[in-house]
Structure 1
């Protein structure tokens, strides 16, 4: 299997993949394959389109419809139950499959992200390496990565799900030091219309025109300094793939809570989450912001307590997968001792940890 695997879930014919494949060819990458993961609403002509693009560019682009998904994962019925049909996170199934097939770099791509001239695959192949890049740290242990983006009217922007109690509307005092640590996740940043909370979108539109050259092409956060990141235009090294799962039960912001789990694991093991290139332009698919706000409501209220809980659990296991199990079990145990937590917040956290544990256990015993 090629070393780098791209994954996309879509309910549209994925015409955007041509530009990505053109970028891959322009930068002479021969170690790339792409899985397009279908769902109930995916148009039937998607398969033919993927075949045509694959033939045109000489890149393996495989459409995986629902029948093929069930066949491939026949021996893992619990996984099919965890990630039901008609959900936007269907590509999680192929995180598991790609790992089984030997994937070294996994790149999650949304169908409303459009590539620039920047080397898309090459930039994401920073994961699994230890480049010397600027690492940011703060005394509070939080930093808004969107401070590196330029909004055309100077409107402050935070990543979707960034805990409200951790937000500062003045530039954060930070230390920046170049260091070489292992990069486990790379979150490519977004021009034009990046990911932010629905409540922010209801106030004003934003437009990102560029990135601060001081932090180009990539920067990272020192282990122990956290930020929210999503799972679009995001790459994962092989060692972190088993530890990344976004529980369906948590809804729209599950990927954000998972980003905090990854921050906790990176803090313990010593890995780095990097940000920056490849920059993509986002032309967002239609959204009902009021519905998005409703879907984010409980999660946003609970996030400050959630991250405090994560940080309260001591970890000793040396691997990401082992430390993940330790963290999830520790959080479930400590959750029972928190007396003043609203029941809706407690229920969401408990479901998140229990569902995540099922994923973690699927990887226990698999060949690394």
Structure 2
């Protein structure tokens, strides 16, 4: 192989020789691991190359402020991050959604599959030095089903418990000029960018090995990881913006390699080594897959009338009564419904002990985010005329309104991306218990949900029960997005009665339903 003479002795990049040998021997799938991993059940698990939604039911997507997701969060460890995750993005990703998943309804070309490792998972030296008591005891959530990453959503992946199918063999190349602790992470970033161009995805799945880590000098590891700490975020920003007019995969690879060198993320020799690697592949008879126009190939769905259910609140114990509500709501609406969870977690970011990942993952989309400072004190004081609320009550009210607005925006984005048209919207607090519901929500005026927003009738106080609302999505937008009206001072009260009176679009379109009775269990929160 031409690449051999450029691989230094003792270099991790000498694995490139092993890849070529396997390909020459006719491999169609390559599994790679570390010498300190112990495979469970003596069985190398892998998902089908083309996996159905039953096998990969969820897709991860990034938030507004970062192209990264923290995949460890979705597998039960939101306070831990994989090696290569940019440290400056931890806060942004945690607040935008430490677990952000949507339901998958298409077959996934799972060309690269990263399975996790229990006990000593792959984290950087900074995490190891600051969380030494956790290491050796870490176990990921085995109830979490495999997760594919949406295009233009990035996560580090490594070479420690990884499946690569034939279509992605070109991406096995390990950089020669980077350090031992960086080479596989840098490989993972540029490969993810090109994987989308052939219709492929990186998929993460639960642990299938236990790692009992060999002795390392953590300070030496930290020194070798310097490039990751300082450049991971910039490297991914560059990759997300990179475009090519090439018509073949290998030309795309060469073009990207040249750009990576020009941007300073690789040394100039790496471009030459990668070109030699590609020539070695061709000499072995490797056939690279064709490029795919994702826009033209994207499966378009017929527009269909549906109802969107926005579930907001604090990440609380999932009680049976809440999911009974979902079942009952489906019976009471004469259209399919999609569930959107937009839930705040406590600090530190820890899922509840009774957190049921299977039930949460059944939602159309879920975002679990770390509570953040909304900086409402910076707004003009003249915006608020309701001064009877305590500081804590105001904070809770603001977060409720903010999460409602964000959930509505999430639904709107999903409509555009999936060619879905929602007719109705329902908002419900996560810890609400429904004592009574009407036989059907398809009723005549004044309780016609196609023209009117319906709130529960609160028999005990003059305040509106804000734990539930249902109505036409156009009118619900004014109710759900009140946060933005507060920000620009077009609303000047925190009292919902006063807010509804000031909204011309809603003041004749609201009814209070004595057939819907709710008891909210504030004490049930974890």
TM-score of the aligned structures, taking structure 1 as reference length:
0.68
CA–CA separation in structure 2 for the residues paired with 1:220 and 1:241:
19
**Counterpart of 1:210?**
140
CA–CA separation in structure 2 for the residues paired with 1:202 and 1:305:
25
The one of 118, 124, 127 equivalent to 1:191 is: 118
Q: CA deviation at 1:249?
A: 1.1
Aligned residues: 273
Q: CA deviation at 1:138?
A: 2.2
CA–CA separation in structure 1 for the residues paired with 2:186 and 2:259:
16
**Counterpart of 1:101?**
25
Provide the aligned C-alpha RMSD in A: 2.4
Matched, 1:228 2:156: yes
Q: CA deviation at 1:270?
A: 2.2
Q: CA deviation at 1:324?
A: 1.6
Matched, 1:166 2:112: no
Note the 1:225-264 alignment, pairs <5 A: 225-251=153-179, 252-264=181-193
Larger relative contact order, structure 1 or 2 (CA cutoff 8 Å, min sep 6):
1
CA–CA separation in structure 2 for the residues paired with 1:302 and 1:146:
21
Q: In structure 2, do the counterparts of structure 1 residues 102 and 230 end up closer, same or farther at CA, with 3 Å as the change threshold?
A: same
Q: 1:282-337, CA deviations, whole angstroms, 9 ceiling, x for partnerless residues? A: 1000000000111111332122222222223213446544432231123335x2xx
**Counterpart of 1:324?**
253
**Counterpart of 1:20?**
none
The one of 195, 201, 225 equivalent to 1:272 is: 201
Q: 1:231-280, CA deviations, whole angstroms, 9 ceiling, x for partnerless residues? A: 11101001111222111210121100111011101233321111114521
CA–CA separation in structure 1 for the residues paired with 2:230 and 2:148:
27
CA–CA separation in structure 2 for the residues paired with 1:185 and 1:191:
20
- For residue 220 of structure 1, give the secondary structure of its aligned residue in structure 2: strand
Matched, 1:143 2:44: no
CA–CA separation in structure 1 for the residues paired with 2:234 and 2:267:
10
Matched, 1:285 2:199: no
- For residue 208 of structure 1, give the secondary structure of its aligned residue in structure 2: coil
TM-score of the aligned structures, taking structure 2 as reference length:
0.48
**Counterpart of 1:357?**
275
Q: Deviating runs (4+, > 6 A) in structure 1?
A: none
CA–CA separation in structure 2 for the residues paired with 1:273 and 1:86:
29
Higher Rg:
2
Tell me, yes or no, if the aligned pair for 1:250 and 1:352 is still in contact at 8 Å: no
Unaligned runs of 5+ in 1: 1-75, 336-345
Q: Which range moves more in the overlay, 130-139 or 236-245?
A: 130-139
Unaligned runs of 5+ in 2: 288-526
Q: CA deviation at 1:353?
A: 4.2
Tell me, yes or no, if the aligned pair for 2:69 and 2:154 is still in contact at 8 Å: yes
